[in-house]
Amino acid sequence: MDQNTWSPIAKIYDPLMVGSIDTTDEEPHDHGIVRAMNSKYKPNKDVVGDPHKTIFVARLNPKTADETLHDEFSFFGEIKNLRLVRDIVTGISKCYAFVEYIDEKSAYRAQRDGNKMVIDGSEIFVDFELERNLKGWIPRRLGGGFGGNKESGQLRFGGKDRPFRPPITGNSDTRNNFTSDRSRFREESYNDKRNDKYSVSKRDKRDRSKDRSSRSREKRDRSRDRNKNKKHNHDRDRRRSRSQDK
């Protein structure tokens, strides 16, 4: 493999390639990959919005509501549209959502800094939408995607949370170059950089933490006020009742 063309992240979606830990497999190792290779999937034309301003949020807690997602992700910028995907029959959350922002900068920040946030006790996964951005994309239900687990034996590689590994073939210098490329790619793509015009400063993160604390205090204050009002109304009704009895 040419080290100049190798990348830890897939640039074009190829089922056989993403089914290989280092893109060197020549035959599919499970039936899902065969199904993806034979599928003629095309992106849904009914999907609206700008794919470059849309992020994909997965691994959500089934109890997480639309309002909670909106509160959490509005920190990164103004949200144009948010869709928490639900079962069409039961209405139960499928634990993933799509968030479209007004500008691309906000989407960039959200996919970078929102990844691995904890919402309702669940560590979430955030990336750009791939269906309309990655050529040849095949969803998981057709044997594609970048998901999977060791138990099922259907692992997929080349994604943000499971990048390709450098091929073990070739001499040591080649492997070292691959490893260096991978490290450099990760550093450029996912780490905070001082010169990145989209970077979120520590001050911004502290402000976000303060905002969360402020929202929590406001909720507690509102709850306390409601309880006081209930008690006041209850006491007033009791006094009226006693007066009428007399």
What's the CATH number where 129 sits?
Answer: 3.30.70.330
Within this chain, do residues 149 and 55 fall inside the same structural domain, yes or no? yes
158 and 234 inside one domain: no
Specify the number of domains making up the chain.
Answer: 2
In a domain, 182, yes or no: yes
Supply φ then ψ for residue 7, to 5 degrees.
Answer: -145, 145
Kindly state whether residues 84 and 176 are assigned to the same domain: yes
Proportion of the chain above pLDDT 90, given as a percent: 54
Q: Would you say residue 2 lies in a domain?
A: no
pLDDT of residue 192: 46
pLDDT at res. 4: 61
Higher per-residue pLDDT: 19 or 241: 19
**Is residue 197 assigned to a domain?**
no
Residue 7 lies in a domain: no
The residue that leads in pLDDT, 183 or 214, is 214
Say if residue 34 is in the same domain as residue 149: yes
Residues 145 and 221 in one domain: no
Whether residue 184 sits in one domain with residue 116: yes
Residue 195 within a domain: no
- The answer to whether residue 138 scores a pLDDT higher than 80 is yes
pLDDT at 212: 66
| Same domain flag for 91 and 134 | yes
Same domain, 186 and 208: no
Within 10 angstroms of residue 212's Cβ, the number of other Cβ atoms is: 13
Largest alpha-carbon pair distance within the chain?
A: 100
What DSSP element (H or E) covers 101? strand 93-101
Does any domain span residue 146? yes
Q: 15-24, 26-35, 111-120, 200-209: which has the minimum mean pLDDT? A: 200-209
Can you give the length of the chain in residues? 246
Residue 218 pLDDT: 73
Structural domain boundaries, residue 244: 202-246
Residues 100/105/107/111 CA torsion (nearest 10 deg): 180
Report the distance separating Cα 23 and Cα 17, nearest Å: 5
Whether 137 and 208 map to the same domain: the answer is no
Q: Which residue has the higher pLDDT, 228 or 113?
A: 113
More confident residue, 93 or 181: 93
C-beta atoms surrounding 94 within 10 Å: 13
What digits encode the pLDDT tens for the residues 191-229? 444 445 444 544 555 556 666 666 767 777 777 777 766
> Structure pTM?
0.66
